[in-house]
Amino acid sequence: MSLPDLLIDPVVRLALAEDLGRAGDVTAAACIPADARLTADFAARQAGVAAGLAVVRLAVRAMDPDAVVEERIKDGEAFEAGQTLVRVEADARALLAAERTALNLLGRLCGVATLTRAYVEAVAGTSARIADTRKTTPGLRALEKHAVAMGGGSNHRFGLDDAVLIKDNHVAVCGGAAEAVRRARTSVGHLMKVEVEVDGLDQLDAVLALAVGPDVVMLDNFGLDDLREAVRRNAGRVVLEASGGVNLKTVRAIAETGVDVISVGALTHSAPSLDIGLDAA
């Protein structure tokens, strides 16, 4: 799976404009001859999973349209410390001006993919899928969700418009989870999925009793015993998603309760950027 350049390029250009400021790269202009060329490697300082390699090509070619960019690995593939991810041959001033933007975005996206892969491996052998949330960096959602997918995770909804997700505050305003689901079902088309968050087994029972219930029920901050009981009561009728209190130490036990999906906000809001550098070849 790859993202079209159309979605990535505006992010890259905005980041470049932020870095170039009003006068461009004054250091490169002062120190580097105008006709100098540079061949350099975007190289990993630590092991990880690749995601967002296209940002290097788009950042460098925004500054030098004739740059030669060679990806040495594909998104979704694992790499070792010291491995070259992308080799670039370009106008030296242009490459150095694009360096930080490319490294910032590439390190961020590889970090998300790497953390996601750790969660996916932690639940291997169970039926649970690891999914992201909307807790993404503003402006980077499409890229970060792509990185989650490259790490082996599943994408939750991308925004407010592609699925109904009834949360606790919606429930409070509507007067109950079941009533909120009923209202949603009468308001949206047949292709729109409906998910509702419940915070106890009593709410779960109420929404499962509906003649036309939700497609997905989010079990928010359920303990392990309640998760197991929720799986038993549900008996496969709807998709069960566990959420809250999930980390690498707890995710395996949560998966073993039998839930279908485990959503993890940390995949995007807490993933550390991977250490990647630019080395002259």
Residue keyed to tokens 């980390």? 247
Is 129 assigned a catalytic role?
no
Residues forming a β-bridge with 195: 165, 216
Q: Is 45 helix (H, G, I), strand (E, B) or coil?
A: coil
Check: CB of residue 196 under 8 Å from CB of residue 217: yes
Put the strands of the sheet holding 84-91 in their side by side order.
68-71, 84-91, 37-44, 276-280
Is 100 assigned a catalytic role?
yes
Which tokens sit at 214?
Answer: 């939700």
Indicate the DSSP class of residue 95.
H
Q: 72, 100, 182, 252: which is the annotated catalytic residue?
A: 100
Q: 74, 162, 167, 232: which is the annotated catalytic residue?
A: 167
Check: CB of residue 232 under 8 Å from CB of residue 224: no
Check: CB of residue 87 under 8 Å from CB of residue 278: no
d(Cα 34, Cα 30) in Å, to the nearest integer? Answer: 10
Q: 45, 135, 182, 252: which is the annotated catalytic residue?
A: 135
Q: 132, 195, 220, 260: which is the annotated catalytic residue?
A: 220
Is 249 assigned a catalytic role?
no
Check: CB of residue 79 under 8 Å from CB of residue 90: no
Q: What positions carry a catalytic annotation?
A: 100, 135, 167, 197, 220
